[in-house]
Amino acid sequence: NSMDGAAERKRKRKSRWGGTEKDKTFIPGMPTILPSTLDPAQQEAYLVQFQIEEISRKLRTGDLGITQTPEERSPSPEPIYSSDGKRLNTREFRYRKRLEEQRHQLIVKMQAVNPEFKPPADYKPPVTRVS
Amino acid sequence: VDVSTGKATEVLCLLNMVLPSELTDDDEYDDIRTDIKQECAKYGKVKSLKIPRPGDDSIQGGCGKVFVRFESIDDCKKALNALSGRKFSGRIVMTSFYDLEKYKRKDFQ
């Protein structure tokens, strides 16, 4: 039975829910309860803007979402070292890079809809884009 | 009717929780369903739960969102307020009421 299978795996992995009702995350000026009266385009635009703020906050605070439970992480890639022997592709570096890429995609999306959109102050468009 | 939320219904829409790419694996999909159902059940009886996933042709749109139908509008309100601002997979959960007739028609936006 597939439900038993799901329950079995469940015990090995903690719930994806974080925090409690008393411990929530707020982004100033961006409510998390949306009016059901927004049309799909308005809702999408708000969601993208919210996600840009959310990622910016993670990058700023260094709260990159690195899980503390090693079993929940995917296998680490082969290490890459600089000429002076420092590891370049550290976990922190990889998480940060991924968030920056996600944020870049969201900003491109936002600018396509609204050319007036102002990206966050700490955002720099990637210098080289390899397609 | 609360102006800030629009008309209250018994259907809760959860946004910013899942990415379409996380829904393709059957085991992960089941896990996500269980996580969401268990948490929602704390606020009232969950009548049904829909998580549109890529490649499911029986459902129109709504991929990346989660729809939960409660037995009563009051329970849905409780869940809307309690889950909004919580984190799921590290993302901040957003909530909204969703039209019951659209939900029944599997018309997800």
| C-beta atoms of A6 and B31 within 8 A | yes
B105 in contact with A, Cβ within 8 Å: no
Cβ neighbors of B96 (< 8 A, separation 6 or more) are A33, A34, A35, A36, A38, A43, B5, B6, B12, B13, B15, B80
**B50: closest CA of chain A, how far (Å):** 16
Mean local confidence (pLDDT), A85-91: 93
**A5: closest CA of chain B, how far (Å):** 8
Closest Cβ opposite residue A34 in set B82, B89, B94: B94
| C-beta atoms of B9 and A5 within 8 A | no
* Chain B contact set for A31 (CB, 8 A): 4
Of the candidates A40, A13, A46, the one whose C-alpha atom is nearest the C-alpha of residue B92 is A46
Express each pLDDT in B50-70 by its tens digit.
999 988 777 778 999 999 999
| Average confidence score pLDDT of chain A | 86
Taken in order B59, B60, B62, B63, the sign of the CA dihedral is: positive
Express each pLDDT in A28-48 by its tens digit.
999 999 999 899 889 999 999
Closest Cβ opposite residue B32 in set A16, A27, A50: A16
How open is the CA angle B23-B26-B30, to the nearest 5 degrees?
80
Of the candidates B108, B3, B22, the one whose C-alpha atom is nearest the C-alpha of residue B66 is B108
| C-beta atoms of B87 and A13 within 8 A | no
Is residue B69 within 8 Å of B11, Cβ to Cβ?
yes
In this predicted structure, what is the pLDDT of residue A90? 93
| C-beta atoms of B15 and A34 within 8 A | yes
Supply A123's token pair. 């955002």
**A87: closest CA of chain B, how far (Å):** 26
B67's enclosing H/E stretch is strand B66-70
Highest mean pLDDT among A11-20, A46-55, B48-57: A46-55
Return per-residue pLDDT of chain B as tens, 109 residues.
566 788 999 999 999 999 999 999 999 999 999 999 999 999 999 999 999 998 877 777 899 999 999 999 999 999 999 999 999 999 999 999 999 999 999 999 8
Whether residue A61 has pLDDT greater than 60: yes
Q: What is the largest CA-CA distance in chain B?
A: 40
Q: Cα(B55)–Cα(A104) distance, rounded to whole angstroms?
A: 27
- Half-sphere exposure in the Cβ direction for A51 (13 Å, CA): 23
| C-beta atoms of A13 and B31 within 8 A | yes
Burial of B51 (0-12, 13-18, 19+ CB in 10 A): buried
